[in-house]
Amino acid sequence: MPEPVDELPITTGDDVVRVRQAVRARAGAAQLSLVDQTKLITAASELARNTLVHGGSGVARVETVERQGRRGVKAVFTDHGPGIADVEKALTDGFTTGSGLGLGLGGSRRLVDEFVLETAVGKGTTVTVIKWTR
């Protein structure tokens, strides 16, 4: 492993691409299956875009984790944007405050094994996702 944690700023569209690439590198090294890699990278892409579009900007932290002999890749997305007032609603497919499809949060939750959303109105949002090897 090169670095214990990749820490990537998300302030432009190019940064979203870089997050995808960092997650792809970790997922490949952790030997996730091709389908699981694709799911995780797709979820990371949605969440990184959320960080940029809704949070204004933020940071992604990507790391390889291990639990009970299984390896996984964890990605944490943090912004200091407006936060989410109604979490249940935000996780519902089709709900959007922007111009998107409203699949970002709910959709990415379906693509990963663990999904934790912490948010406070006026303070920001942190989304943590993990995908484990099978």
Site residues for another protein per CB under 8 A: 12-14, 16-17, 20-21, 24, 34-35, 37-39, 41-42, 45-46, 49, 93, 100-101, 103-104, 106-108, 110-111
Q: How far is the CB of 15 from another protein (least distance, A)?
A: 9
Q: How far is the CB of 35 from another protein (least distance, A)?
A: 5
**H-helix or E-strand spanning residue 66:** strand 58-67
Integer angstrom CA distances of residue 69 from 48, 74, 118: 29, 15, 27
- With both helix axes pointing from N to C terminus, report the angle between 104-111 and 34-53 in degrees, rounded to the nearest 10: 150
Q: How far is the CB of 17 from another protein (least distance, A)?
A: 5
The gap from C-alpha 100 to its chain's centroid, in whole angstroms, comes to: 17
Q: How far is the CB of 54 from another protein (least distance, A)?
A: 14
Nearer to another protein (CB atom), residue 24 or residue 71: 24
Nearer to another protein (CB atom), residue 3 or residue 14: 14
Q: Looking at residue 102, what DSSP letter applies? A: S
Nearer to another protein (CB atom), residue 67 or residue 134: 134
CA 11, CA 33: separation in Å to the nearest integer? 30
